[in-house]
A = this chain, B = another copy of it.
Amino acid sequence: MLKGNLAIGQSGGPTPVINASLAGVILESMDHPEIKSIYGLVHGIEGALKEEFIDLSQLSSQTLQLLVSTPASALGSCRHKVNDREYERILNVFQAHNIRYFVYIGGNDSMDTCLHIQRLASALGYEIQIMGVPKTIDNDLAHTDHSPGYGSAARFIALATRDTGLDLEAMATFDAVTILETMGRNAGWLTAASGISKEDEADAPHLIYVPEVPFDEMRFLDDVSDVHKRYHRVFVVVCEGIRDHNQEYIGQIQKSDVQDAFGHSLPTLTTGVASFLSMQVKEKLKLRSRFLRPVLIGRSFSACVSQIDRNEALEVGREAVKQLANGRSGYMVTLDRISNEPYKSCPGFVELSSVANSEKLLPLDYLSDSRTMISSSFKEYVKPLIGEPLAAITRLKNIRIEKKLG
């Protein structure tokens, strides 16, 4: 193993467990004397460009313990598309600080960044070993059973759906339709997680819409109307990224299309797909409708973390450094599922080039035939990932008391 320093960065949208991966990298690095100092990049690769590092070599065990349960990216994160000149600058900075190990925690774009650094270093003859650590609430990274971050975000969506579903049920003589918007860009994994705790046809959610299935507004309104006739309430979960048959995003009213009474253009009215569909339900079905848009809350809420997700996040961080110590470079750590009952997984690895810029979408057999509900095979897939089962609730048995007046 080369003697030198290790740089670690966090990239893209945070997750509730991304800092557990960071802690895993730090903890494992401390066990390898070849790794001299641990440098945290401030705001990911931007920290490399600006030469802004935090010294992580001397963190107390108390700080590391708190770090494991601190939400959002503690080093700061970024969304930065690196250009060729910047890649050279990054390598110059790494060289100046004798950085011989680089670990990047992120999604497919970040794996692409790792790949570029690896290739340039190789071309320039600079010895550096690079490992990627998977992280995304969207769960769209290829060649891994799932990605750390997804389990916790899925737990939040599952619980929010169940609890606000009970709220809608309680208010069903007044409210009619609730539409919950989930994150996930092009992938329906998070949206699908809303169905985990559904036991009965009447339970929320009643309808889910994922980006993998082209969205048809007429069909949607028919679906909502049908469910309303059956249950007098409709709970819909919709992914932010749904598109119609022409690949146009739903709910984008362009600025130029909309004018006020004086003919002035109004600001862009893109307020998200749930808000748009909620308006359609009110306008076309004349039903009361509300939309919920927790967005960032689901990817950072610390009171609803999957313990399995957190443990795995820490584990993949450790594994990256173990692989570096084995002399490996140019891979992303993966999670392979060994068994469901009891749930067991183990880390593996895959070449960066296989995951960079590729997307794993929700397979259609994880949906029901109608494609507006999940299948039992998806339930099996997702159930262990959310950690402990959701806390039990009771529905009061309907022991009706006989009418006397009628």
Contact = CB atoms under 8 A, between A and B. Distances in A.
Interface string A289-320: 01111111101111110000000000000000
A269 interface: yes
Interface stretch (A66-74, A324-332, A339-347, A357-365): A66-74
A75 interface: yes
A401 B301 contact: no
B169 A400 contact: no
A398 B167 contact: no
B267 A257 contact: no
Interface stretch (A120-128, A184-192, A279-287, A367-375): A279-287
Contact of A75 (B13, B79, B295, B396): B396
Say which size band chain A's interface belongs to: 35 or more
Nearest to A283: B267
B173 A46 contact: yes
A278 B271 CA distance: 9
Given A279-B269, A394-B70, A401-B39, A167 B296 contact: yes
Contacts of A174: 78-80
B396 A40 contact: yes
A227 interface: no
Main DSSP-derived SS at the A contact region: loop
A79 to B, nearest CB: 5
User: Which of A51, A63, A163 has the most chain B CB atoms closer than 10 A to its own CB?
Assistant: A163
B66 A394 contact: yes
Contact of A300 (B77, B166, B300, B399): B166
Contacts of A354: none
Interface stretch (A91-99, A111-119, A139-147, A208-216): A91-99
A295 B69 CA distance: 26
Contact of A406 (B51, B168, B405): B51
Given A73-B170, A170-B14, A271-B279, A391 B291 contact: no
Number of copies: 2
Interface string A7-31: 0001001101000000000000000
B292 A164 contact: no
Interface string A42-61: 01001000011111101100
B172 A76 contact: yes
Contact of A164 (B74, B80, B297): B297
A400 B53 contact: yes
A197 to B, nearest CB: 11
A170 B46 CA distance: 12
Given A51-B406, A392-B66, A405-B92, A267 B293 contact: no
Interface in A155-170: 159-160, 163-164, 166-170
Given A66-B392, A164-B300, A303-B391, 8 more contacts: A46-B173, A63-B396, A71-B167, A75-B170, A80-B174, A96-B405, A253-B266, A267-B283
23 contacts: A10-B170, A13-B171, A51-B405, A54-B396, A71-B393, A72-B163, A74-B394, A75-B396, A78-B171, A80-B173, A80-B174, A92-B405, A163-B297, A178-B296, A256-B261, A257-B261, A258-B259, A258-B260, A271-B275, A275-B275, A290-B296, A293-B294, A303-B304
Q: Which 3 A-B pairs have the closest CB atoms?
A: A72-B166, A66-B394, A267-B283
